[in-house]
Amino acid sequence: MRIYDIAFYVAGFFIFGVLLASLSLKLSFSIILIAAVLIAVLFLFIGYFFKSYEAKLHKWYWLAGLSLFIIIGAFYYFWWDAYQIKKASIVFDKEIIFQGLVIKNPERGNQQKLTVALQSLYSGNILVKIQTYPSFDYGDIINFEGMIKRPEPAEYADYLAKEGIFGITSFPKTELIAKNQGSVIKSSLFKLKEKIIVNFQKTLPAEKSVFLAGITLGERAEFSKEFKEAMSKSGTTHLVALSGYNITIIVLAVFGLFNWFLSRRLTFILTTLVIFGFVLMAGAEASVVRAAIMGFIALLAKQIGRIHSVRNAIVLAAFFMILINPKVLYFDVGFQLSFLALLGIVYLAPAIRKFFRFSEESGFLFWRDNFFTTFSAQLGVAPLLILNFGQFSLSSLLANVLILSAIPLTMSLGFILTGLGFLSDYLALFFGWFITLFLSYEIFVIKFFGKLNFLQIHFSNPVLVIVYYLILIGFIFFVISRSRQKTTQLNNDG
C-alpha cells in the first residue's frame, strides 16, 4: 500500500473512532472496541479470499491493521475530554467573587456575551451574559460577583465544551479592573475590524453597511430580525457566516475572477493572499482560520486536480483540526457544513458536469461555475441543514446563483473602500455610491427569494440522511468508473 493511502486510512479510521466516541451517550467504549475488532476481522475475512494475490501486502490486510486506529481515535476523544475537565477549576451553584480575562471579541446585540478565562483562585473558561452597557472589549480583566452554573442539557454542554467553555453565569455584578491585557496582535486586529465597520457606516446607508460588514467580516449583530429571516428563507445566510461553506464558494469565485485575465500560477498566489487577508480582517479567530483552511483546500484542489492529493488534503486537514479539538467533529455544525460543502464542490460538481456532459466554459460572469459550485455545495449540505434548521428551500439554489456572481466583486470593492476610508472620507463617500449599486442588487435578491421560499423540504429521520449520502457516493463512483472505462477504451483503440 502506498504511503499516501496509509496516511489517508490512518486519518480516516482515527476520525471514525472520534465520531463513535462523540456518541458516547449512546455507545460505551467497550462497544466501540468490539466494533473496531469486528471491522478488522471483516477486512481479514475479505482478504482471505484474495490470498493468492500478494497475500502479505494485499490492501485488505493493511486495512485490517489500520482499522485499529478506530480504537486510538475513541481513546483520544475520551482522554482529551477528561483532560479539559480536569484543567478547569470552577465552583458551581454558589455565589462567589471571581476575576477573568475576556479572551474573545464580545458578541453584541440585545446583550453582551463574553468568553472569559478565570484567573487567580479559579481556572477554565466560562460564558458570561451581561447587559449591553457598560461595554467590554477583548483583553479586559473584569471582577465578577455571581453564580456560575453548569451548561444544560448535556448536548448544550458538549457544544460549549468544543469552545473550551464549562460554565455559564448570567448578569453578574461587574467591575473593570484593567484593559489591554490580551494579545497585542489580536487586540489590534479586533480594533481594526471595528474601525472598518465604522468606515462602512460613515459611507453607506445603514442596511447596506451592515450587509457589507457581514459578507466581509462576518459581523451580524446589527442585522434586523426581518433581514435575518429573509436570508434564512432565501438560503443565503452562509454568505455572512464565515464558515468554510461560504468562504470556499467565495474563494473559488475569486479564483475564477483572477483567472480570467491572469496566469493560473499568479491567480493561485493572489487568491491565497486574499484568503490570508480575509483571516486577518476577520480577527483570525479559530473558526475563521478553519474556514480559511477549507477555502485553501478547495483552491488547492482546483490547482493540482489529482484525486489522491485532494483526498488526502481534505482528510488530513480534518484530522489535524480534530486532533486540536475532537469535539468539533460532532458538536460543531459549522465544521460539518465546511467539509460536506467542500466534498460536494471537489467531487460532486465534476461528476455532475461529466454525467450530463455540460460545457467546461465558465459562462458570462462565471454563472456556470457559480451554479455548479453552489448547486454541488448545497447538495452536500442539504440534509444537514434540514436536520439542524428544520427546512431547506429549493428556491435558494437560484438565489445563490444570482447573488454569488456579484459577491466576490462586492467583497473586493469593500476592501478597497476600507483603504479609502482611512485616507479620505470624500473618496470613500464617492466610492461607496458605486458599491451601493451591487449591495442594492444583492439585498433585493435576498428579500425577493425570502418572500418566495417555494418548494420547501422537511424531514427529521437520520436514516434518510444516510441513504441520501450513499446515493451521492454511489453516483460519484459510477461517474468515475464510467470515465475510467472510456479512457481505457480510448487508449486501447489508440
Same domain, 178 and 195: no
Same domain, 336 and 433: yes
- Low-confidence residues of the chain, pLDDT below 70? 24-27, 50-58, 154-156, 241-246, 249, 253, 281, 283-287, 301-309, 359-370, 389-393, 453-461, 487-494
Cell of 171: 448578569
Same domain, 64 and 122: no
Same domain, 126 and 153: yes
Total Cβ atoms within 10 A of residue 91: 14
Contact by Cβ (8 Å): 242, 287: yes
Same domain, 384 and 314: yes
Same domain, 309 and 242: yes
Residue 471 lies in a domain: no
Same domain, 72 and 144: no
Residue 453 zone, left/alpha/beta (φ > 0; ψ -120 to 50; rest): left
**pLDDT tens-digit profile of 412-465?**
788 788 888 888 888 888 888 889 999 999 999 988 888 876 566 666 667 778
Same domain, 266 and 160: no
Same domain, 316 and 446: yes
Residue 489 lies in a domain: no
Size (the chain), residues: 494
What pTM did the predictor assign?
A: 0.75
Same domain, 54 and 200: no
Q: Examine the fold and report which residue of 155, 182, 209 is the final residue of a domain before the chain moves on.
A: 182
pLDDT score recorded for residue 13: 92
User: Can you name the residues that pair with 116 across neighbouring β-strands?
Assistant: 102, 126
pLDDT score recorded for residue 458: 63
Beta strand 165-170 with 125-130 is parallel
Total Cβ atoms within 10 A of residue 319: 20
Count of domains observed in the chain: 3
Q: Which CATH number does the domain housing residue 133 bear? A: 2.40.50
Q: Examine the fold and report which residue of 60, 87, 114 is the final residue of a domain before the chain moves on.
A: 87
Residue 466 lies in a domain: no
**Residue type for position 364:** F
Q: For residue 107, what are the domain limits?
A: 95-182
Longest CA–CA span in the chain (Å) reads 82
Q: Examine the fold and report which residue of 182, 216, 242 is the final residue of a domain before the chain moves on.
A: 182
**pLDDT tens-digit profile of 205-257?**
988 999 998 888 878 777 888 888 888 778 777 777 666 666 776 777 677 77
Q: Dihedral angle at the C-alpha atoms of 354, 355, 356, 357, nearest 10 degrees?
A: 30
Residue 493 lies in a domain: no
pLDDT score recorded for residue 55: 47
Contact by Cβ (8 Å): 244, 328: no
Same domain, 147 and 167: yes
Phi, psi of 119 (to 5 degrees): -130, 175
Same domain, 323 and 418: yes
Which residue, among 186, 108, 204, has the nearest Cα to 414 in the 3D structure?
204
Residue 475 lies in a domain: no
Residue 432 lies in a domain: yes
pLDDT score recorded for residue 311: 79
Residue 363 lies in a domain: yes
pLDDT score recorded for residue 439: 93
Residue 47 lies in a domain: yes
How far does Cα 7 stand from its chain's mean position?
Answer: 23
